[in-house]
A and B are shown apart, each in its own frame.
Chain A
Amino acid sequence: MKGEKVMNYLGKRSLKYRIVRDFKTNYFIYILALICLSYYFIFCYAPMGGVLIAFKNYKPTKGIWGSQWVGFKYFEQIFSSYFIVRLFRNTLLINVYDLLFGFPAPIILALLFNELTSTKFRRVVQTVTYLPHFISQVVICGIIVTFLSGDGLVNQILNMLGKESVIFLQNPRYFRTIYVGSGIWQNVGYGTILYLAALSNVDPQLLDAAAIDGCNRFMRVWHVTLPGITPTIIIMLILRIGNMMNVGFEKIILLYNPSTYETADVLSSFVYRYGLLEGNFSYSTAVGLLNSVINFTLLVAVNYISRRVSEISLW
């Protein structure tokens, strides 16, 4: 009789019964989940709610709730300001350069690793090229600043070749090259890991069959190996393009200075400088929110297009 009570007309257990039973059997796991999710609520979701201050005139003394609503005032200010064009252009251009040069670099390197005949040598090269990824941004930028300074290594070499010294980090023309180039130097080796994993899944029988059909080495790479890792490349491309309006502020603020703001100042470094250092919380939160929304939209859009075109997608 007890069983009948909790069955609905389809013969399934009722929702309420299932929820109660689930909580009874798994109550300890739910306690754990609650403890861990509280981290997400405090440090991830509460700040998302805090984004409200983009629509308020935030005063630290009044708090988030007490401050006055101002609607889209800050967004109107953003779109009418001169700086915003510069910020968007710089953010986008750094990403475009990185997409053009930084994205293919680890793919090419992984293919070259894969063609090395000696596994021992290959392991040595991999170990060496992964290393810079684990060195801190501060140290890497410290080395960059030292090497590119007026009397640094690069200028010493330029002088020996009979050329004049260049103050690289004071000249806006060089900033993007330095930023993207040093990024490739630091991360190209580490970036190969995912592609190497994909390469190890390419069926060797396919390669053998291609060889029997008369494919030379380059053709085998082009027609067998590369198509084998295309799904991985597309997934990485979706993630990369979803980040097209995203440049971390850490490396920027280590390398830039007022004389290079023209090309170096990006959205995140502006939010840090104008928001945190100068205390314009609401305005720079609006800039940050705009940035996040664009990123998220890009990711969803690219993912949608990819699912339509190649049937590969993140979700």
Chain B
Amino acid sequence: MSKKGSSNWMYGRRSLGSKIFDTFNVLFMIILMIITIYPFLYVLFASVSNPLLLMSHQGILWKPLGFTLKGYMLVLRNAGIKNGFLVTFFVVIVGTACNMIFSLLFSYVLSRRNLMWHSVITLLAVFTMFFNGGMIPTYIIVRDLGLIDSLWSLILPGLISTYNVIILRTALRSVPAELEESAKLDGAGDLRILVSVLIPVIVPTIAAITLFYMVGHWNAWSNALIYIKTPTKFPLQLVLRSILIRNQTEGAMSGEAYYAPGEDYAARMLLKYSTVIVSIIPIVCVYPFIQKYFTTGVMIGAIKG
């Protein structure tokens, strides 16, 4: 960092007050990290703890109490969770593929400045960022299209995110025009230019947007709550909801179905903690890549856009 380097000789020795501030700042950051991470650590410790010890324990957990993988065995045996994983995998893979195809095509359209109807098309898309029909008219449309209880109701209504398209468009526009010109001279058409000239140049942005769509699908649950009726078509998050937040309104009845009769309180508790860990593992695995890309790809797009 050249900025920090220049500061040091320019500002000379740091004053006492400045040093005290630095110390407190670092301390504050350490506390902040603990507050951020600890809830997840607690759940991790609790998920492998002996449930009887856990129930008699009071206060903060510093380490697992005993060790058992019983909770994770329960997760593996739970038909609802297994099913939820399959549904979510389908939606993440097919949904993200559809998202990316249409977002790239649309961002290519929006990146053409010489288009006569360019501003009309842009306005049609951007207006939807500020105004929408609301939950019930959208529900009626989805129902009239016959998508209720179909997994496509989790994919089609959010097919194109205008925000992501604008980021992609900005990236496309930053590609030097000469690349495209020379491809055109060689006789390449629009699709050819997009696929073989433009896309390879903006891979970091595409990777970031892909990851955002994927994480979005992984975490989504409210569309499924509204549109999906059959429990075997519930995505993971909806299954989690009935396991984690049982005593809430209408989730209570469906939640009961995921426990075999006779299972005791301790087993439920273990299952709860273990499902949390199992459901966030994929996110934690993808996370380093998101980290890497949103500094390179998305931030540039967000600022210029």
Interface residues of A (CB under 8 A from B): 18-19, 22, 26, 28-30, 32-33, 35-37, 39-40, 42-51, 53, 63-64, 109, 112, 115-117, 119, 121, 124-125, 127-132, 134-139, 141-143, 145-147, 153, 156-157, 159-160, 185, 189, 193-194, 197, 204, 207-208, 211-212, 216-217, 242, 249-250, 253-258, 268, 271-272, 275-277, 281, 284-285, 288-289, 291-292, 296, 299
Q: State whether B25 touches A43 (Cβ < 8 A).
A: no
Kindly state whether residue B240 has any CB partner on chain A within 8 Å. Answer: yes
CA distance A303 to B125 in the complex (A): 20
Given contacts A33-B109, A131-B36, contact A43 B141 (CB under 8 A): yes
Q: Which of B2, B21, B139 contacts A115 (CB 8 A)?
A: B21
**9 interchain pairs, CB-CB under 8 A:** A29-B190, A36-B106, A125-B29, A135-B219, A136-B219, A143-B40, A157-B59, A193-B294, A216-B15
Q: Do A296 and B276 touch (CB < 8 A)?
A: no
B136 touches A139 (CB 8 A): no
Q: Which residues of B contact A159 (CB under 8 A)?
A: 58
**Set of chain A residues within 8 Å of B156, measured between Cβ atoms:** 39, 43
List 17 extra interface pairs beyond A42-B145, A208-B10, A217-B18, CB under 8 A: A32-B106, A33-B117, A47-B141, A48-B132, A125-B32, A129-B36, A138-B244, A138-B245, A139-B276, A142-B243, A197-B299, A208-B6, A268-B135, A276-B136, A281-B136, A288-B134, A296-B130
**Cβ of A264 to closest chain B Cβ, rounded Å:** 11
Per-residue A-contact encoding for B235-269, CB less than 8 Å = 1, 0 else: 00110110111011110000000000000000000
A211 CB contacts on chain B under 8 angstroms: 7, 10-11
B112 within 8 A of A: yes
Question: Which residues from A are CB-within-8-Å of B221?
Answer: 136-138, 250
The answer to whether B4 and A117 have CB atoms under 8 Å apart is: yes
Q: A32-B108, A143-B43, A160-B59 are in contact. Are A48 and B6 (CB under 8 A)?
A: no
* Also in contact, A40 and B136, with CB within 8 A (given A143-B276, A211-B11): no
Verify B18–A292 contact, CB threshold 8 A: no
A209 to chain B: closest residue by CB: B10
Q: A44-B128, A138-B241, A296-B131 are in contact. Are A131 and B140 (CB under 8 A)?
A: no
Stretch among B63-71, B201-209, B283-291 lining the A interface: B283-291
Q: Indicate whether A276 sits within 8 Å of B272 (C-beta atoms), given known contacts A29-B109, A160-B58.
A: no
Find chain B residues with CB under 8 A from A216 CB: 15, 17-18
A36 with B109: in contact, given A136-B218, A146-B244, A276-B136 (CB under 8 Å)? yes
Give the complex CA separation of A291 and B137 in angstroms.
14
Query: A189: which B residues are within 8 A, CB to CB?
Result: 36
A89 CB to nearest B CB, Å: 21
Q: Is B37 an interface residue (CB 8 A)?
A: yes
User: Is the pair A28, B141 in contact by a Cβ cutoff of 8 Å?
Assistant: no
* Binary interface encoding of chain B residues 10-41 relative to chain A, with 1 for a CB under 8 A from any of its CBs, else 0: 11000101100110011011001101110110
Q: Taking the nearest CB of chain B, how far is it from the CB of A239, in angstroms?
A: 10
* A-B complex: 8 closest residue pairs judged by Cβ atoms: A47-B133, A142-B244, A50-B137, A288-B134, A136-B219, A36-B106, A47-B137, A22-B116
A276 contacts B226, C-beta separation under 8 Å: yes
Q: Which of B25, B26, B124 contacts A37 (CB 8 A)?
A: B124
- Tell me if A's interface is mostly helix, strand, loop or mixed: helix
The answer on a CB contact under 8 Å between A39 and B159 is yes
Contact across chains for A257 and B249 when beta carbons are under 8 A apart: yes
Q: A21: nearest residue on chain B (CB-CB)?
A: B116
Give the chain A neighbours of B10 by CB distance below 8 A.
208, 211-212
A299 to B126: give the CA distance in the assembly, Å: 14
Contact B29 A121 (CB under 8 A): yes
Alpha-carbon distance between A83 and B35 when the two chains are bound, in angstroms: 38
* Contact code string B91-130 (vs A, CB < 8 Å = 1, else 0): 0000000000010011011001011110001001100101
Residue among B138, B215, B276 making CB contact with A134, cutoff 8 Å: B215
Please, which residue of chain B has its CB at the minimum distance from the CB of A196? Answer: B299
Proximity bits, B138-171, A CB within 8 Å = 1, else 0:
1111001100000000001101100000000000
Q: A208 and B124 in contact (CB under 8 A), knowing A43-B156, A159-B58?
A: no
- Report if B60 contacts A (CB, 8 A): yes
Structural contact, A143 and B39, CB atoms closer than 8 A: yes
B303 at the interface (CB under 8 A from A): yes
B22→A135 contact, CB < 8 A? no
Known: A22-B116, A216-B15. A146 touches B272 (CB 8 A): yes
Contact across chains for A112 and B25 when beta carbons are under 8 A apart: yes
**Of B36, B43, B108, B245, the contact of A254 (CB 8 Å cutoff):** B245
